[in-house]
Structure 1
Amino acid sequence: MSIVQDSGSEVARYDYTEDDFVLHTAPWADGQPSQLSPFDKELHKRWDAAMAAGAFRYGIDHILTRIIPGSKGYVGQLNTLRATERRKPQEISSVSQPFNPKAFNFTWIKPGEVIFDLHNTTDGPLKNGDASAAGEAGHVSDGAVTNGHAQTTEAAQVSANGVEHSAEGKKSAVHRLVINVSPMEYGHCLLVPDVFGERPQVLTLTALKVAIETLLLCKHRGVRVGMNSLCAFASVNHLHFHFFYLDYELIADYCPVDHLAGDYYEFTSLPCPGFVMQLHGTTVEGLARSAHKISSYLHENDIAHNLFMCRGVAFGEKRDSTLTTIRLFIWPRKKFIAHLEGNKSSEEFNVACIELGGHLPIKEEAGYYNLTEEDVDKIIETACLSEEHYQEIKATVIKMGQEVSNAS
C-alpha cells in the first residue's frame, strides 16, 4: 500500500474508476449477510485500526438495537455515549452562515483520524451505463491528490505536501474520508469533499457527485449517507456527509413513492414528506444535478433541509426485487436553532437526516425501551413545515421536473 504526504502527515489515497462502481446490491429479502467490495474491506480495515489505536472517544460495543413494533419498522438504537461524549455542536443561526476558519473544522483533525482521500481516476465524464456490478478493485497509490471531476489541460505540479497544483498555482480539491470520533454505528465516517476549500455546510454539485460515487464503491447494502444543512442539526459548519454501515433494513430502502414530474418523486411514508430521486435510469451526473436543483432552491430561500442516501429497490419494484439502486431523499423542514427559546430537541432523539429515513439513535434508556411507533411519529412531526409552505415547495419541485422533461 502506497501513501502520500499531506500537510506533514501520512494520508493514503484511494484511487478508483467508474468500473469499480457497484450498481446493484442483493435485496434484504435474500436473508444473506451483506457482501463487501474492495472499498468496504479497505475502509473496515482502517476504521478497525483507528478503533484499536484509541482514536475514538468510545467504542460501539454498548450500542443496543430494537425494531420498534409497527408498520414502519423504525430501527431504534440506544447510544448513550454519543449523547454525552460528542463534541458540542457549533452555534448555528442561519442556513447561509459563512464558514468560520477560527471555529472547529475538518482540517483540524489528527492524522490518526484520517481514513484516506478519494481520487476518481476516470478519464472523461462519469457515466452509469449498463455495466456489470463491479469492475477492477480500487487501490491506494502514490501521487498527487486530485479532483476526479476536473478537466485540466495545464501541466500539474506536486508540492511537498502531495497536493496537486495547476500551472497557475491553484489547488485541486481533496475529498477526504475521516472517522467520526463519536460514532453512531460501525464504520461511521465523515466524508468531507474539498476538505481544504473552506466551504460552509451547503451542498455543491461536486460534493453530491463525490457522495454518490462513494456509495457506489460499496457493496454492503446497509451503507447510509446523510447530510444535515445548517439549522437542520448540522453540528459543524464545514461541508460534510455522514457515512456508516447499518445492518438493518429501513423503510427508506423500499417505501413506495409517488411520481411528481421528471426525475422527482414524493416520499410520504413517514410523518414529514419529502422528495426522492433514484440513480436507476440516469447517471451520477444526472442524479447529482437533480438533487442540487432542489438543495440550491432550498438554500436560496432560507429553508433548512436534510439529505439521505441508501441502497434500495428501484421505484415501483416490490420489496424483494433484485432491481436495486441508489435512492436519494431531500426533506425541507422547520429550522432548528438551538439557542432560541422554544427550539428544544426531543429528549429521545434529534430529527435529522437518518431519523427521517427510519433510523433512530436514541439518547437515553427510557426512550429506547418505551418508545412506540406513535411516539416516534409525533416526534418526527415536530420537524414538519406547515402544509401551506410544503405545498409551495412541492409546486416548485414539480415545475423543475416539468421544465427538464420539456427540454428533453
Structure 2
Amino acid sequence: MDHGMDSYLENLKDKWEDVHNKGGVFAYKLDVTTSKTLKGNYGFYCELNVERTTKRRIPQQIPLENTTFDPSKFNFTKIKPEEVLSEIPFKDSTVTFVINSSPLTKYHCLIVPDLDKCYPQILNKVSIGFTIRFLLNISDNSFKIGYNSPGALASVNHLHLHLIHLNQNTFIENIKLVKLKTDLEFYKSAHEHIRFVCFKVDTVNFEKNVDEFYKLIKWMIDSLIPHNLYFLKESTFVKIFVFAKKEAIAVKTLGQVNLAFCELIGYVPVGDEEVFDGLDEDSLVSSFRDASGDIYDKIYNFIEK
C-alpha cells in the first residue's frame, strides 16, 4: 500500500471540513437528519436532503450523441480557488479534487483528471486507473467513488467522478455474483431484477486489467449505451459495478428519484419530503428493471465473445 494516499486523504478531509464550516463556498451546509431503510429484500438506504434540490446548480443537459466540451457552460475551470482541495500526480497527469458544492455526504468531492485539458464527461484509462489505485491505497473503505455518463444523469460535461463517504452499507456490498464465461474477472448479478456487470481488479496484472476493463467502457461509449459506475474497495481488490441504461436520460428531475450511481447501489438521496415518504422497494426495483430493459444481454455477449 502507498501510504501517501492516506496522507492526501487526511489533508483533503481537513480542508473539506474547513471550507464547509467557514461557509460561503458550498451551496448549503450539509445537515441530513432524516433517513430510513426500506423494508424488503435489499435494504435500500434513503436520505432526505431538501437543500440539494432547492439550492443546487441546475444540471446540464448533455446529449449522448454530442458530448463536445462547451467552454461557455459551467465547467471546473470556472470554480473559485478555495473550491480546490488537493492535487495528486498520477503518471503523466494531475488529478484535482474539488468540492461538490451541493454535497450528498460528508467529504463529497469531485475527482477531475487533467482539469485544464477540459475533457468532456467521457471516461478514459487515466481516470479509471487513478480511481482504482486511489481506493487500493487508502485505508478507509468507507470512501467510494461513482461516475455518471452522459445520458445517465451526468450533470456537468467536464470529466469528473464523485468521491463520497458512506458508513452505511448498501445492498451492493454483499450482493451475490455469478462469474461470466470469460477468463477475466467479470461477473453479473445473481438477482433477476437488479442487473449489472461487476469487475474485480487488484495489483496483480494491474495495467492489463485496466486495459481490459476499458475495452468494455469504450465499447459502451461507442455503442451509445449510457452507464453509471461504482467503485468500492473490498479486502485487497476493488470491485467496479457497471450499470447500463437502454436509452439516454438527458437531465435529472430535481426532487424526484433519479437512477444515477447512488440510487443504483442502494443509497437513495431524495430532495422532496412527499417523494421520500412514498418510497418503497418494489417501485424502485421496477424502475431499475425498466431503465435497463434487455441491454445486459448485449453486454454479456460482448464480454463473453
Q: Same fold (TM over 0.5)?
A: yes
Based on CA coordinates, which of the two structures has the bigger radius of gyration?
Answer: 1
Q: Percent identity?
A: 28
Question: What corresponds to 1:204 in structure 2?
Answer: 124
Inter-partner Cα distance in structure 2 for 1:239 and 1:95? 16
Question: What corresponds to 2:22 in structure 1?
Answer: 53
Measured after TM superposition, the shift of residue 107 of structure 1 is: 1.1
Measured after TM superposition, the shift of residue 280 of structure 1 is: 4.0
Measured after TM superposition, the shift of residue 78 of structure 1 is: 0.9
Letter of the 2:213 counterpart: A
Task: Report 1:58-97 matches (<5 A).
Answer: 58-97=28-67
Letter of the 1:81 counterpart: E
Q: Which moved more, 1:330-339 or 1:56-65?
A: 330-339
Question: What corresponds to 1:334 in structure 2?
Answer: 246
Task: Kindly indicate whether residue 59 of structure 2 is the aligned counterpart of residue 117 of structure 1.
Answer: no
Question: What corresponds to 1:25 in structure 2?
Answer: none
Inter-partner Cα distance in structure 2 for 1:94 and 1:229? 9
Q: For residues 346 and 283 of structure 1, do their structure 2 counterparts lie closer, same or farther at Cα, with a shift above 3 Å needed?
A: farther
The SS at the match of 1:292 is helix
Measured after TM superposition, the shift of residue 89 of structure 1 is: 1.2
Inter-partner Cα distance in structure 2 for 1:73 and 1:59? 27
Alignment partner for residue 107 of structure 1, among 71, 77, 83? 77
Question: What corresponds to 1:149 in structure 2?
Answer: 91
Q: 2:49, 2:270 within 8 Å by CA — same for their partners in 1?
A: yes
Q: 1:212, 1:284 within 8 Å by CA — same for their partners in 2?
A: no
Q: For residues 209 and 180 of structure 1, do their structure 2 counterparts lie closer, same or farther at Cα, with a shift above 3 Å needed?
A: same
Question: What corresponds to 1:288 in structure 2?
Answer: 210
Q: For residues 87 and 264 of structure 1, do their structure 2 counterparts lie closer, same or farther at Cα, with a shift above 3 Å needed?
A: same
Inter-partner Cα distance in structure 2 for 1:287 and 1:64? 41
**Cα shift readout 1:32-74 (whole Å, capped 9, x = no counterpart):** xxxxx43432221010011022121111123422111222111
Q: For residues 267 and 334 of structure 1, do their structure 2 counterparts lie closer, same or farther at Cα, with a shift above 3 Å needed?
A: same
Inter-partner Cα distance in structure 1 for 2:160 and 2:73? 15
Question: What corresponds to 1:378 in structure 2?
Answer: 286
Q: How many residues align?
A: 302
Letter of the 1:243 counterpart: L
Measured after TM superposition, the shift of residue 367 of structure 1 is: 2.7
Inter-partner Cα distance in structure 1 for 2:240 and 2:204? 13
Question: What corresponds to 1:398 in structure 2?
Answer: 304
Letter of the 1:188 counterpart: H
**Structure 1 gap ranges (5+):** 1-17, 23-36, 120-147, 151-172, 313-322, 400-408
Measured after TM superposition, the shift of residue 76 of structure 1 is: 0.6
TM-score, length-normalised on structure 2? 0.91
Question: What corresponds to 1:364 in structure 2?
Answer: 272
Measured after TM superposition, the shift of residue 117 of structure 1 is: 0.4
Inter-partner Cα distance in structure 1 for 2:244 and 2:277? 30
